[in-house]
């Protein structure tokens, strides 16, 4: 190392509906430094480009809807909730 430690944390993300289909997994484990939900969305869109097609994607942190600037902590429970249609 160059004397500078990186602070990379493990983030667990639960996926539902089409988000699960896009990623091919029910839960993602991300080993990146992502501090906000906006950074998480950018990461998902870069790793799984089909996420770009989802216009009204919601993120929940610890069972509460999050905003783009919401902070992510390593022990948070994060869920990706895609649009739901029905009749």
Rounded Cα–Cα distance for residues 66 and 71 (Å) = 9
Full pLDDT tens readout for the chain, 87 residues: 444 445 567 899 999 999 999 999 999 999 988 999 999 999 999 999 999 998 888 999 999 999 999 999 988 999 999 877 655
- Contact between 64 and 71 under an 8 Å Cβ cutoff? The reply is no
Place of tokens 């739901």: 84
pTM for the structure as a whole: 0.83
Q: What's the confidence (pLDDT) of residue 85? A: 66
């Amino acid at each position: 190392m160059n004397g500078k430690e990186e602070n990379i944390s493990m983030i667990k993300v639960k996926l539902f509906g089409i988000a699960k289909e896009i990623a091919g997994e029910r839960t993602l484990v991300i080993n990146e430094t992502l501090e906000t939900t906006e950074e998480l969305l950018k990461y998902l869109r870069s790793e799984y480009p089909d996420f770009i097609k989802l216009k009204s994607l919601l993120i929940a942190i610890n069972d509460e809807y999050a905003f783009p600037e919401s902070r992510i902590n390593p022990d948070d429970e994060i869920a990706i909730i895609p649009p739901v249609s029905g009749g």
